Amino acid sequence: MRVTFWGVRGSIPSPGPDTVGVGGNTSCVEVRAGKLLLVFDGGTGLRLLGKTLLKEMPITAHLFFSHVHWDHIQGFPFFDPAFVGGNSIHLYGGNNVSRTLEETLAGQMDHPSFPVHLTDMAAKMIFHDVHEFTPIELDAGDGTKATITAARGNHPNGVWAYRVDHGGRSVMYATDTEHYAVVDQQLLKLAKDTDVLIYDSQYTPEEYAGTAGSGGPKLGWGHSTFEEAVKLTRAAGVKRLILYHHDPMQSDAAVAEKERRARELFPNCEAAREGLKIEL
């Protein structure tokens, strides 16, 4: 497998001179499992991924949405392969809110928010519901297979974490989830012995408690810290931890400091940055 990070920020895009090193695009991670193309979340990073995929047309892509808050879907209307006939795009998500994934994606492209509707996209769209711990088996048709398993996280309106297993290796994507007083047992089960864990580490412990940063305490906002990421990593026997979904207020220097502190607790750890590639 190969993992590529196209968007690593949370909440809102944060371009500028203080964030150019880490990147300012919102959540989007590409996973190549053999010839299978998997994409996790459709934040603004999805636009960049789409540009690179144009040379591979026609494509079959599998897009897994953790949830439908803006920073995880706002890149989809700018995903070029969705406008190209002959492409097939499978979209996976949970019915966590009052509307389905299809209705939500169409809603953000409806008048007066956007000039082009979902139905104007030329690619074939196939929508799938996600169910907890019910494996999704994918087959590229050439012997390439992957299994994707989902579990619920802890976030307002709900969120899904995903694990990919392929060729004896595993990657888990768990963003926008808030820790409990003890390690989340559902995520612990999903993360067991994972090679790479990509985990929501939006806040420092001080930012979460409200003793640093702005906005006061973040309890109930649906995000976690690097300390809690390490707790889950150790409990699950994860080999490598990637800190993800950086707060838009954190500069490159702040993310680097967060990474340094996390490495003191778990050395095989790094902060996600746009363009980071992981080979398994």
Confidence band, pLDDT 50/70/90 cuts, at residue 146: very high
Mean predicted confidence (pLDDT) in 244-254? 97
DSSP-H helix ranges across 3-94: 45-53
Mean predicted confidence (pLDDT) in 138-159? 92
Q: Which domains does the chain have, with CATH numbers?
A: 2-279 (3.60.15.10)
Distance of alpha carbon 194 from alpha carbon 161, whole angstroms: 13
Q: pTM score, two decimals?
A: 0.96
Confidence band, pLDDT 50/70/90 cuts, at residue 67: very high
Structure tokens at 265: 């607790």
Q: Residue 142: what pLDDT?
A: 83
Mean predicted confidence (pLDDT) in 256-264? 98
Distance of alpha carbon 196 from alpha carbon 220, whole angstroms: 26
One DSSP character per residue, 121-172 reads: --SEEEEEE--TT--EEEE-SSS-EEEEEEEE---TT--EEEEEEETTEEEE
Structure tokens at 133: 């711990």
Structure tokens at 277: 């590639």
pLDDT tens for each residue of 34-46 = 999 999 999 999 9
Q: Residue 207: what pLDDT?
A: 96
Confidence band, pLDDT 50/70/90 cuts, at residue 214: confident
Compute, in degrees rounded to 10, the torsion defined by CA atoms 51, 52, 54, 57: -150
CA–CA distances in Å: residue 50 to residues 67, 131, 216: 20, 27, 37
| pLDDT at residue 131 tops 60 | yes
Neighbours of 37 (CB within 10 A): 22
Distance of alpha carbon 269 from alpha carbon 272, whole angstroms: 10
The CA-based diameter of the chain, rounded to the nearest angstrom, is: 54
Residue count of the chain = 280
pLDDT tens for each residue of 9-55 = 999 999 999 999 999 999 999 999 999 999 999 999 999 999 999 99
Confidence band, pLDDT 50/70/90 cuts, at residue 127: very high
> For the packed helices 252-265 and 226-236, what is the interaxial angle rounded to 10 degrees?
40
pLDDT tens for each residue of 82-124 = 999 999 999 999 865 557 888 888 888 888 888 888 988 999 9
Distance of alpha carbon 74 from alpha carbon 53, whole angstroms: 18
pLDDT tens for each residue of 151-187 = 999 999 899 999 999 999 999 999 999 999 999 999 9
Mean predicted confidence (pLDDT) in 193-203? 98
Partner residues linked to 32 by β-bridges: 2, 37
Neighbours of 156 (CB within 10 A): 14
| 35 residue type, one letter | K
